[in-house]
Amino acid sequence: MIEVQSYLREIREAVLENRKLLAILIDPDKFKETEAADFINNLPAETTHILVGGSTVEPGQTCNVVKAIKNLCGLPVILFPGDHSQISAYADALLFLSLISGRNPEFLIEQQVRSVEKIKNTDLEIIPTGYILIDGGNETSVQKVSNTVPLAQTEIQQIVNTALAGQYSGKKLIYLEAGSGAKFPVSPEIIKTVKSSLKIPLIVGGGIRSKRLLQKAYNAGADLVVIGTAFEDGTFD
């Protein structure tokens, strides 16, 4: 029997082998396809995934970006869509996100239902993901666009319970998000407590601007860390 490629399985295998994963996030609205080659050449050697998505993106732009990246590199390209319009059949997989920290039905189920027609005839691997927005010290675009209130970093039990509610309802990944350009990232204490409660892989992103913060997130238990802004600005050090 031919084994179907599964990006989720690869993430799970990495977790079992204690290999840390690094995703660089492209916001399609800020990305020029003409600079794709430079982008690829400058990726940190440790990069294991490319994530593509943003809070608001011009129609068609996600597809252009995904195609440009897929033409130039073999890393898995995973969609991280702000809404159903950002789904591109050219990517490898899709984080099928539910914003489970919020109580806005638009991002709990409406966008998911609206994306079905775009997904059902593609080969995209669909990865159900519980997305938890945590306060990163400033109002980020995801907060504005989703019209939801982030969980305070002091609400650790609520964050853990939200992550577990995601796991119990069948999510395959949990993503702790401080928001793109967050002033401060999700704290190591939160990462550690959530990770020790979960049986599924943990993604952490938002406000991770340096190798030191990256290492802290890994040490606390993040399996996959997402970096966008600092790499985009060239300030990651």
Only one of the segments 84-92, 122-130, 143-151, 180-188 lies at the binding site for ligand 1GP (rule: CB under 6 A); that segment is 180-188
Considering the complex, what minimum distance in angstroms separates the CB of residue 179 from ligand 1GP? Answer: 6
| 27 annotated as a binding-site residue | yes
Question: Which residues on adjacent β-strands are paired with residue 129?
Answer: 97, 173
| 177 annotated as a binding-site residue | yes
Residue nearest to ligand 1GP (CB): 205
Give the footprint of ligand 1GP on residues 39-78 (CB under 6 A): none
111: Cα separation from own chain's centroid:
17
User: How far from each other are the two terminal CA atoms of the chain, in whole angstroms?
Assistant: 45
Residue from 167, 140, 56 nearest 149 by CA: 140
Question: Which residues on adjacent β-strands are paired with residue 78?
Answer: 51, 93
Only one of the segments 28-36, 40-48, 81-89, 200-208 lies at the binding site for ligand 1GP (rule: CB under 6 A); that segment is 200-208
Considering the complex, what minimum distance in angstroms separates the CB of residue 136 from ligand 1GP? Answer: 8
- By the rule CB under 6 A, 153 interacts with ligand 1GP: no
CA–CA distance, 90 with 88 (Å, rounded to integer): 5
The letter for the amino acid at 70 is K
- By the rule CB under 6 A, 130 interacts with ligand 1GP: no
What is the number of H-type helices and E-type strands within the chain? 10, 8
Site residues for ligand 1GP per CB under 6 A: 25, 177, 180-182, 205-208, 226-230
